[in-house]
Structure 1
């Protein structure tokens, strides 16, 4: 099987992709002729590589999904930036494309995330599936290739329904522009299609972890996506079954190599031994690079601090004794807020006083490029550590870290939540939560406190927020729990100001009146958590109807 870590520099974009500005990316007439392709097994191999993604020459290759040159099945931008439009984070640069979505000011003419609605990927997946049977090749291999591309198509439709609701369901190539003026199919039909596809293809995909698969879709990935969607659609018994199937496959295991395992599992150096990952966006320097380090690191390390954490996510972490910070019996000290906390806090959020790159991180020092008030310092006073590591300046835009899309940790939380919502609470539920908490250095769940469906629901929602922080899932959770009006509107807060002792790292915070206010956010329930259909699509297609609230 070809590894997506070694993308082949061929002009597959002319065969598989479209640069058409017509609605639904009608296949261009100047593509490679089908008569000269789809002949040999090598053609099928190359086409499969093209289905996963092709090389770009943009300054930010394969990172920003709104980039029209992007053709990767998923982009690290979708994962790393998505929490910035939630109560977890903040995007301090409007050109990064999520700031207006976070503060409620997004409109149909904004460029941010409009590529979610583009059908260039769907076009190449349909083209692949319509032609692969013409190739003379091993039948089992052909079935696997088909299953992989059907997975990619299902995943793309998953994103479309999550962000837009009703969308056109296109399962065959469209060559007539008039034919492309389609109406939006009900979300329920698209969801049913996705779930049916994933159920059908799973047996044709191998049981492998991400190391063995080399970035290809596997049975675990298909069932992980199926379980995720079932959870979001409140199909709790089905989500339990599929999440448990992934948990029991025997090829995935929590990464537990030392006390900082939670942080270490996102580093590129551990990709060859990390069996927690089910599927990830694969990157390789020079050929298919990532620019995530440029956005995670502060100016002191050569970065831009594009990705900020905010006070809300900091407050979500429990204290080391397993209690919430608003519990008066906990060890929480509001003037020493980073002490005696869930270790995942310091492994996820770069806060004042944390050891980082041979120094104590100090967002209050006006003579440093860590300073919150300089353009390249985290404006909130909080950076993000997940995936972040110091790299040479030349590698800030040329990284090789893989960005996780599915991992076993999510499946444990999916199983636990689905069981709780089904009121099937047993030892397996507590065990799933305990495995993640113990790995992080936290105590097991206090069963005397979390002894009911209501209390366990509170716990599993908090665990999802902190365990999966900055992995691109928080918006989906806010939407399906319908808590947007509780967590989004109002001022968005960062850290209190203060000082950091450069020798000891001791943090002294000023009073509450100094807390950083980043922006004022609004939440409009009429929009139902959906993005607007891009205005260009409305203009091009008389049958396209805008989402409510826009």
Structure 2
């Protein structure tokens, strides 16, 4: 894919205004000295628009956020482990916020490894508000100006979507503030309505194109605005509205399911992937990302940062479409990966799986020749759970090097809209036949068997396995209030055992039905605090600096 927008951003010397702060509500303007001489020409407006796109989202937010859920365990202290196990506090919030200074540095060097940069500080909000406050000063084509405004309003709405989802009440800032301003938190309902209103306005105004990410060359489209609105409607329980928006995206002629689930997430497919609705773009040597490095097994030089759990493995059906808990499924606990939903081995790497010419082994401390096994689960940087995530990666051949990877990361894709439609159909008991067709389109494209009956359990599980490791599981747990069940108690990885290096067969330890610390790799014990209502804390530094700030319950 020729990433024209990204290349334009990199080629331009963006010297304007867009400085960053490291406080949660660092909304103070830093641009008075440059605004007076800027905003004179269309080139200025384009420079500023490109600046708004820079660092609007980080790949780690998408690819690692399942570490805060029952799908995965984040072992490398990138910030998501404390989210998953319930130990995040206002005081240790810097585990996440500490990335912000690094982002400022890396913005000058092309890299974007900011695990939390999108959600917490207001640096982006200040940037977007400044753009919208000044763009009308520029003499330029009215249609192009309207398009630029719509794109930036979407970016601001997207930012507020995550802020309100993860913090609840947040300050709703829509203008450039004075340096002395202190802000209270606005009600979450007000912020959500603002996001809905903004998306509705830019959809109705019609400036955004009806294009996929290939044809839009990375710019925000009408499909992205409809899809984000559908996501928010679903989170709010507005099922008819969510269904209508999802259907509007599905009916757009520019999108279609990609035929190969495994290849869908790989860099080689970007130029032909019409499933992508919204992407974070990267490019080797200029604006690269490091997902290959942090995801690959230790035996391939990787860090195994995000590990799959027993829970997500168990969620994949058998190849006959039955859950492993169904006694008629044919599931063999001593051959647990045989005859399963094909998406399992397309998304994660388990012991005994053929991988790059070898059988992957995280169970034995030593290799067949007696040398230490770099992938042994107790070693660093091996997968602590015994299972890696391979959804976005293949090998280092996909990029120029482990820290120099150019694969785009999908933020929203068409399959999510199919699943949004299906969930809304189940909840309202309407259009269920069409919803089942959408579910089956997703299942069969990966080689899985069709489902025969649409149920809430089917839709929820399909959403979990189809979208695994794409950063949405925590929102689903929040929406369905599953925290007491799935974010509480011991978290396990692979069953223990020893592998035959010749054929990948495994002799497992003990009784697989007896899930305990002897038979399975225990990762940690998690604690879910229902008083917090899934919300993150306000950082202590912000509490200390802002007299109007109020902490979330339970912190």
1:297 aligns with 2:299: no
CA distance in 2, matches of 1:25, 1:196: 22
1:424 aligns with 2:430: yes
The counterpart of 2:253, out of the listed 250, 254, 261, is 250
3-state secondary structure, aligned to 1:204: coil
Residue aligning to 1:145? 148
CA distance in 2, matches of 1:368, 1:278: 41
Deviation at 1:11, TM superposition (A): 5.5
3-state secondary structure, aligned to 1:99: helix
Residue aligning to 1:435? 441
1:73 aligns with 2:35: no
Residue aligning to 2:421? 415
Residue aligning to 2:128? 125
Residue aligning to 1:507? 506
Residue aligning to 2:327? 328
1:309 aligns with 2:315: no
CA distance in 1, matches of 2:282, 2:22: 27
Q: How does 1:135-284 map to 2 (within 5 A)?
A: 135-177=138-180, 179=181, 181-202=182-203, 203-256=206-259, 261-284=260-283
Deviation at 1:173, TM superposition (A): 0.4
Residues 319-361 of structure 1: CA deviation (Å, up to 9, x unaligned): 0000000000002101100000000001111001112122111
Residue aligning to 1:99? 81
CA distance in 2, matches of 1:22, 1:475: 21
CA distance 1:275–1:231, change in 2 (3 Å): same
C-alpha RMSD of the superposition: 1.6
The counterpart of 1:26, out of the listed 4, 7, 28, is 28
CA distance in 1, matches of 2:13, 2:545: 28
CA distance 1:185–1:21, change in 2 (3 Å): closer
Deviation at 1:431, TM superposition (A): 0.4
CA distance in 2, matches of 1:289, 1:5: 12
Residues 454-491 of structure 1: CA deviation (Å, up to 9, x unaligned): xx111100000000000000000000100100111111
Residue aligning to 1:58? none
Deviation at 1:21, TM superposition (A): 5.2
Greater alpha carbon shift after TM alignment, 218-227 vs 346-355: 346-355
CA distance 1:340–1:41, change in 2 (3 Å): same
CA distance in 2, matches of 1:44, 1:9: 15
CA distance in 1, matches of 2:96, 2:185: 18
3-state secondary structure, aligned to 1:263: helix
Q: Is the 8 A contact 1:20 1:27 kept in 2?
A: no
Q: How does 1:332-343 map to 2 (within 5 A)?
A: 332-343=331-342
Residue aligning to 2:90? 108
CA distance in 1, matches of 2:484, 2:217: 41
Residue aligning to 1:363? 362
CA distance in 1, matches of 2:53, 2:552: 30
1:48 aligns with 2:49: yes
Q: Is the 8 A contact 2:422 2:432 kept in 1?
A: no
Which 5+ residue runs of structure 2 have no aligned equivalent?
A: 98-116, 366-371, 513-517
Residues 30-57 of structure 1: CA deviation (Å, up to 9, x unaligned): x65223211111111111110011xxxx
Residue aligning to 2:406? 400
TM-score normalised per structure 2: 0.91
TM-score normalised per structure 1: 0.91
1:378 aligns with 2:383: yes
CA distance 1:123–1:11, change in 2 (3 Å): farther
3-state secondary structure, aligned to 1:37: coil
Aligned length: 517
Deviation at 1:237, TM superposition (A): 0.3
Deviation at 1:159, TM superposition (A): 0.5
Deviation at 1:175, TM superposition (A): 2.5
CA distance in 2, matches of 1:298, 1:124: 38
CA distance in 1, matches of 2:418, 2:42: 39
